[in-house]
Amino acid sequence: MSREFVHERDLRFLLHEVHDLGSLTAYPYFEDHDRETFDLVLNTALKMARDRLFTTFRDMDQNPPCFVDGAVRVHPMVADFMKECGDGGWISATAPYDLGGQQLPRLLISACVFVFAAANYSASVYPMLTSGAARLIESFGSEDLKRSYIPNMFEGKWQGTMALTEPQAGSSLADITTQAQETGHGYFLIKGQKIFISASDHDGVENVINLMLARIKGAPAGVKGISLFVVPKKRVREDGSLVPNDLHIAGLYHKLGYRGAPIAQLSMGENDDCRGFLVGKPHMGLQYMFQMMNETRLEVGLGAAAIASAAYHAAVRYCKERTQGRRLAAKQAGSPPVPIIEHADVKRMLLFQRAIVEGSLSLGLQCCKYSDLSKTAPESDALKFQLLLELLTPAAKTFPSEMGILSVSQGLQCLGGYGYCDEFPLEQYYRDVRIHPIHEGTTGIHGIDLLGRKVVMKDGQALDLFRRELEDAIKTAEYYPELKPYAERLDKSLERLLEVTESLIPLKHSGRTELFLADATLYLEFFGLVAIAWQWLLQGTACDKMLKTNPPQTEFNFYQGKLYTMRYFFHYELPKTEALAKRLTEADGLTTEMHVDWL
């Protein structure tokens, strides 16, 4: 059995049979592409992942970045990989031709990012951040900023970052205090500290371009006084040479996992000479930054699913090879032991992992397709896709992140004692995957974002669009007798979700905000389960369609595996919505009323 970390057949199934990647070529932005280009891109990603990323995955964990003489040294593969990503056009892949991009669909490129992340999550972060930071300049920066920064970033010579968090301002960005003072010379002087900044210094690139939030002197308090700046590690002189920009690394964090990427503490302006260049208009920084934050959130979700995918493949391989015990039906001393995958409980554990991995990946790709459509479809449709994307982002980030932990943990469990030891990769996946419910907004923050903002925005329009998407999927699935019971289960869960929402909204309208949002995390969990069930029903429908064509044995096996995984999700996971619904409709103020000194 090959040492796989993704299910290649599943990627093609999701891209083409479920999400119809080809349909995007009907839009002018993508019209130059076809199935052949798409396949070529995916194959190249798979080859890079196998050859360069997976082979260094353990080594990067065992030799994490180190901080020597004020600079950060990373694994030598980082320089090679950034160059390869630059040369291969991976960083600019979705950007328009006129900026050096290839106008490829995000749906496809995200599948490739998933492949990279499954092979080596830490490594995948370097080009991903660079791409997001460059596209932020592309969207809101001046022509001068675009010209000065984007080409080197797209070529992988310069690293991009997002620099938001400060010691006193993590979840609460309103409280950032990094200062920007106007100089009248086309730049601001930046002073302050940032913490937990990924890839903010390393020797795999020539320069690092931080997309940084700061407060212009005299700006209003709170989120409405935050501006966005380009703050390079080295600034560019007229002659093109690079000089230090008074931006110092104060230290690196020693992390549980995700060790191949440096997370640093930054200090700006210790010598009053750190220059920042304003992106767009003053005080609009947080609004701009949401572009990168929202993109990165989807990538975090896909990254969690990717690690869970690699863990699943390692687990399933072990379970097919390791023999232990006998089938319970034929237990008899002396009979030979069976591979543990024969045990029902082990199959259940594997189905759980697969349901999480492939359900999460499908939801992530669904969001990417909405993202593509929101940029290319005619205006009224575009708005619809934009709303769906905004509504689904908290779940597409959080469901894989939270469930990814459980999925990897179940993978580790499949290996018993070996799963706990570093001879096998499960223990690393278990450490790596734990970051995802934390970075790019904790689960609690996303719960509040979903219920407090997304569900109620524009009078509930987004939720209504979501309902219609699900109803369409349910109607189509009902044509297939085997799927009818599952379509009904989804329908019932959707109805329950809407009822729960209806019961909560009056709390908001009557000003009881705290009670309204007290269990927003549970609401997000509920919403995530329904969204994943929808994705599984879409997958089931695609399978049943193909099974009617009498496919050859390997294809038959693939579709059957899919259908059983779908069934697993509906029988074991979706029913969890009932307990959540029950709790969400109690609104008894248990956690809002409880005095903190009782804890």
Shortest Å, Cβ 578 to a copy of itself: 5
- The interface region with a copy of itself, picked from 68-76, 176-184, 252-260, 375-383 by CB under 8 A, is 252-260
Q: Which is nearer to a copy of itself, 299 or 427 (CB)?
A: 427
Which of 40, 66, 243, 594: binder of a copy of itself (CB under 8 A)?
Answer: 594
Q: Which is nearer to a copy of itself, 96 or 575 (CB)?
A: 575
215 binding a copy of itself? (CB under 8 A)? no
Crossing angle between the packed helical segments 520-547 and 553-568, to the nearest 10 degrees: 150
560 binding a copy of itself? (CB under 8 A)? yes
Site for a copy of itself in 95-154 (CB under 8 A): none
Shortest Å, Cβ 476 to a copy of itself: 24
Shortest Å, Cβ 205 to a copy of itself: 23
- The interface region with a copy of itself, picked from 20-28, 169-177, 273-281, 358-366 by CB under 8 A, is 169-177
Q: Which is nearer to a copy of itself, 1 or 68 (CB)?
A: 1
Burial of 218 (0-12, 13-18, 19+ CB in 10 A): exposed
Q: What's the CA angle centered on 153, arms 134 and 150, to 5 degrees? A: 55
Binding mask 277-316 for a copy of itself (x = CB under 8 A): ---------------------------------------x
Site for a copy of itself in 253-272 (CB under 8 A): 253-258
For 593, the token pair is: 């009323």
Shortest Å, Cβ 387 to a copy of itself: 24
Shortest Å, Cβ 582 to a copy of itself: 5
Q: Which residue in this structure is represented by tokens 């349901």?
A: 355
Q: Which is nearer to a copy of itself, 281 or 348 (CB)?
A: 348
369 binding a copy of itself? (CB under 8 A)? no
Which of 73, 234, 320, 467: binder of a copy of itself (CB under 8 A)?
Answer: 320
The DSSP element (H or E) to which 390 belongs, if any, is helix 379-414
Q: Binding residues for a copy of itself, how many (CB under 8 A)?
A: 106
47 binding a copy of itself? (CB under 8 A)? no
Left, alpha or beta for 101 (phi > 0: left; psi -120 to 50: alpha)? beta
Q: Which is nearer to a copy of itself, 3 or 468 (CB)?
A: 3
Cα separation, 518 vs 26, in Å, equals 45
Shortest Å, Cβ 539 to a copy of itself: 14
318-321's contacts with Cβ under 8 Å and 24+ in sequence apart are 318/414, 318/415, 318/418, 318/424, 319/346, 319/350, 319/414, 320/1, 321/1
73 binding a copy of itself? (CB under 8 A)? no
Q: Which is nearer to a copy of itself, 519 or 544 (CB)?
A: 519
Cβ neighbours around 398 below 10 Å, total? 31
196 binding a copy of itself? (CB under 8 A)? yes
For 241, the token pair is: 């040479």
Q: Is 440 noted as a catalytic residue in this protein?
A: yes
Cα separation, 408 vs 317, in Å, equals 14
Maximum Cα interatomic distance, the chain, rounded to a whole number of Å: 86
Shortest Å, Cβ 426 to a copy of itself: 9
Site for a copy of itself in 395-434 (CB under 8 A): 405, 409, 412-413, 416-417, 419-423, 427, 430-431, 434
- The interface region with a copy of itself, picked from 87-95, 108-116, 318-326, 392-400 by CB under 8 A, is 318-326
Which of 79, 219, 223, 242: binder of a copy of itself (CB under 8 A)?
Answer: 223
**Taking the CA of residue 208 as centre, how many other CA atoms within 13 Å lie in the half-sphere pointing to its CB?**
28
Cβ atoms 534, 470 nearer than 8 A: yes
The contacts of residue 585 (CB under 8 Å, 6+ apart) are: 499, 500, 503
Cβ atoms 128, 90 nearer than 8 A: no
- The interface region with a copy of itself, picked from 72-80, 89-97, 155-163, 165-173 by CB under 8 A, is 165-173
Q: Which is nearer to a copy of itself, 28 or 334 (CB)?
A: 334
Q: Which is nearer to a copy of itself, 40 or 594 (CB)?
A: 594
Shortest Å, Cβ 360 to a copy of itself: 18
Site for a copy of itself in 333-362 (CB under 8 A): 333-334, 337, 339, 341-351, 354
The contacts of residue 260 (CB under 8 Å, 6+ apart) are: 56, 57, 60, 61, 64, 65, 74, 75, 120, 121, 122, 123
Cα separation, 97 vs 36, in Å, equals 19
Q: Which is nearer to a copy of itself, 145 or 308 (CB)?
A: 308
The contacts of residue 442 (CB under 8 Å, 6+ apart) are: 171
Question: Residue 196 in 3-state DSSP?
Answer: strand
218 binding a copy of itself? (CB under 8 A)? no
551 binding a copy of itself? (CB under 8 A)? no
Q: Which is nearer to a copy of itself, 69 or 598 (CB)?
A: 598
Report CA torsion sign: 319, 301, 470, 454.
Answer: positive
Cα separation, 130 vs 113, in Å, equals 13
Shortest Å, Cβ 471 to a copy of itself: 24
CA distances (Å), origin 136, targets 142, 193, 229, 377, 416: 11, 22, 11, 21, 45
Shortest Å, Cβ 415 to a copy of itself: 9
Q: What are phi and psi of 588, to 5 degrees?
A: -95, 0
Cα separation, 230 vs 241, in Å, equals 17
Report CA torsion sign: 328, 410, 121, 108.
Answer: positive
Cα separation, 579 vs 526, in Å, equals 9
Which member of 4, 166, 440, 469 is catalytic?
A: 440
Cβ atoms 387, 466 nearer than 8 A: no
510 binding a copy of itself? (CB under 8 A)? no
Binding mask 511-550 for a copy of itself (x = CB under 8 A): -xxx--xxxxxx----------------------------
Cα separation, 143 vs 129, in Å, equals 21
Q: Which is nearer to a copy of itself, 183 or 591 (CB)?
A: 591
C-alpha R_g of the chain: 24
Shortest Å, Cβ 428 to a copy of itself: 9
Site for a copy of itself in 431-470 (CB under 8 A): 431, 434-435, 437-439, 442-444, 447-448
Of 568, 473, 546, the C-alpha closest to 13 is 546
Cα separation, 599 vs 590, in Å, equals 13
40 binding a copy of itself? (CB under 8 A)? no
Which sequence positions are flagged as catalytic?
440
